[in-house]
Amino acid sequence: MVFLLGMSKGGFPISSIALPLLVLVWPGAVEPAKSAVSFLLPVLCLMDVVALLFYRKHVDIKRLVPLLPGSVIGVAVASVFFVARDGAIVDVPDRVLKFLIGLIGFLFVIYFVFRKWVLKHLAEVSEPGFKQGTGFGVAAGISSTIAHAAGPVIQMYLLPQRLPKMTFVATTAIYFLILNQVKLVPFVAFGRIQVENLRLAAVMIPVIPVGVGVGYVLVRIVKPEHYVGLIYSVLFVTSVILMAQAVLG
């Protein structure tokens, strides 16, 4: 799973598979979804740094300015509802979170199916204004804090701008570098980063640059359409299993 996430950070879009798979295989029966999300955050922060080393020359930071205020708001809102242990306004049950992770994956597959049709019918390049960017930012902040699942939101924000491939990947990478650093604050403050998870993450460190590097190479030499059928089939099945587990208990 860490390798898959590393490939995604390297620009090969398969991160949506990793979290649902990790939740399914996470050891222990107590809150596997919340534990998996907390475990992944430090790993993702390190991946973001490695990815930026590859793509730093292609970043267009101006594209992200409308997103950032809303993203901080989204992280704050989701932290109150999800990250806080004691004193949270609403404690999201793990079954609900598992269902949401599955639902996000399911909806992402639907989004992917219609994405080409939507892009084909865009008459011109569209650059969201501050209000629209704030809305996308809030959605990204909430979904990322709850389930590291802001990828579809950011794609829907950036794709209409029709950026060059390298600029698209690089700008996405710098956005998640910023967002995940912001998320660290509430996760640490509310005690969600566990020492045992950090030890497990440390074992995974050698896998991270390999995964990012493989993703970086694949962006250049492989046509993604050769793999997307398999990728999204796996995501669809995994997401349905997660939702069924959440409903059936």
Q: Dump the DSSP string for 48-88.
A: HHHHHHHHGGG--GGGGTTTHHHHHHHHHHHIIIII-STT-
Rounded CA-CA distance 106/16 in Å is 10
- What is the rounded average pLDDT for all residues in the chain? 77
* pLDDT confidence of residue 89: 46
Percent of the chain with pLDDT over 70: 72
pTM beyond 0.75: the answer is no
Residue with tokens 């991946």: 47
pLDDT 10s digits, 113-143: 776 665 555 545 566 778 889 999 998 998 8
Top-confidence residue, 86 or 222: 222
* Domain residue limits at 111: 2-248
Task: Take residue 168 and report the two structure tokens written for it.
Answer: 């698209």
Whether 87 has a pLDDT exceeding 50, the answer reads: no
Specify the range with the lowest mean pLDDT, choosing from 67-76, 108-117, 238-247.
Answer: 108-117
Q: Domain count of the chain?
A: 1
Q: How confident is the model at residue 104 (pLDDT cuts 50, 70, 90)?
A: confident
Q: Which residue in 71, 36, 226, 218 sits closest to 142, CA to CA?
A: 71
Rounded CA-CA distance 58/165 in Å is 10
Rounded CA-CA distance 205/140 in Å is 26
